[in-house]
Structure 1
Amino acid sequence: MFLVQRKTVPLSLIEEKWVDLALPKEQFDDLVRIGSFGGDTITDAMKTVCEILTADPEGGPARIPFPLFKDIYTYLAQIDGEISQQQINDVMQYLKYDVKNSFFPDKQDGYVQPRNFLSPECPKLSAS
């Protein structure tokens, strides 16, 4: 057995990335207040991200644009340090097909929702 040393990222660096993505500051503050994103896994974090950043009404599908999901998930996965680039690519490939494919070009109008990445067919977002 071996121990994996996790990296700690300063909150200011995450906030800087958030601002670079032109996301609303009040939503960043909400995420910080939530703390652990409401769970222990990156999957829980991404579900909460979708719920906070969606333009859908409360109780709706909590969709966010695929490029936004990709940027946030990739960033968090790289910070995690245990998620391989191949795993990130597999998740993105699956979701990209689910969101838009050649048979149904506007299947979800380019949006990802939690049901897409919570599906048993989707590669796991986390390393374990």
Structure 2
Amino acid sequence: MPLPPVMFCAQQIHIPPELPDILKQFTKAAIRTQPADVLLWSAGYFSALSNGDPLPVKDRIEMPVATQKTDTGLTQGLLKVLHKQFRHKEFVELQDLEKKWKNLCLPVEKFRALVKLDPCTDKIEWMKFLALGCSTLGGSLNTAMKHLCEILTTDPEGGPARIPFETFSYVYNYLASLDPEVHSAETESYLAALKETIDSKHTGLIGLSDFYIPRRAY
């Protein structure tokens, strides 16, 4: 004899008071981030939420980038997400970095190809990985530095995107050293000229208008 259907009334169903807000914030985060694999991204989202870690969430919806040197799947927004997760560390474990990369639905083979640009064993300096990521987004070395400034700056969006000149110089030197077509003397001369400009402002900060002039569209 089949069991009678179980009837519930509103008074019998307990809804955790925090559940609606959790689901609301999750939905907004998913819409902003637009993950390629919602289930994979969700696992990373709720894992970070339960551990009190920075969430894998973009600040805003981002249009796809079609000018990358290689198809890493990366965008400036995704690099910024990774930076929020690792900026408190000087060096990061490759295993942990690869996990966060996967949680953003980025192809693991592209991650390993990126790391091979500056081979390391089990750790990599976070600022160097961020620099390598910026360099894959297309364009020149100065374009890579533009992405870096926009990721690291504390200026409001659309502002001068200033960062400490010391940080700029370190990353520029690093990326230039990986390019066989860029000579060290050329790099030193360029940075010395920039430093004179920055020193005259007495801020120690360098922004987009100090070094980056976008190419005109004709």
Give the TM-score range, shorter chain.
Answer: 0.5 to 0.7
Look up the SS of the partner of 1:74 in the other structure: helix
- Output the amino acid matched with 2:116: P
Q: Shift in Å at residue 41 of structure 1?
A: 1.1
Q: Shift in Å at residue 112 of structure 1?
A: 0.9
Confirm whether residue 47 of structure 1 aligns to residue 141 of structure 2.
no
Structure 1 residues 58 and 116: alpha-carbon distance in aligned structure 2, compared to 1, 3 A threshold: same
Look up the SS of the partner of 1:80 in the other structure: coil
Rg bigger for which structure?
2
Structure 1 gaps of 5+ residues are 1-7, 102-106, 120-128
- Output the amino acid matched with 2:178: I
Identify the residue that residue 191 of structure 2 maps to in structure 1: 92
Deviations 1:41-88 (Å, cap 9, x if unpaired)? 111101111111111110110001011001100000001121111111
Confirm whether residue 36 of structure 1 aligns to residue 36 of structure 2.
no
Rounded to whole Å, the distance in 1 between the matches of 2:135 and 2:140 is 12
Identify the residue that residue 10 of structure 1 maps to in structure 2: 116
Normalised to the residue count of structure 2, the TM-score between the two structures is 0.39
Q: CA RMSD in A?
A: 2.8
Identify the residue that residue 5 of structure 1 maps to in structure 2: none
Q: Choose from 40, 57, 60 the match for 2:156.
A: 57
- Output the amino acid matched with 2:185: Q
The share of aligned pairs that are identical, in percent, is: 37
Aligned residues of 2:165 and 2:204 also touching (Cα < 8 A): yes
Deviations 1:68-121 (Å, cap 9, x if unpaired)? 0011000000011211111111111111011013xxxxx1510111211136xx
Structure 2 gaps of 5+ residues are 1-113, 214-218
- Output the amino acid matched with 1:57: P
Q: Which has the higher contact order (CA 8 A, sep 6+)?
A: 1
Q: Choose from 208, 214, 218 the match for 1:114.
A: 208
Q: Shift in Å at residue 9 of structure 1?
A: 6.0
Rounded to whole Å, the distance in 1 between the matches of 2:167 and 2:179 is 18
Q: Shift in Å at residue 18 of structure 1?
A: 2.3
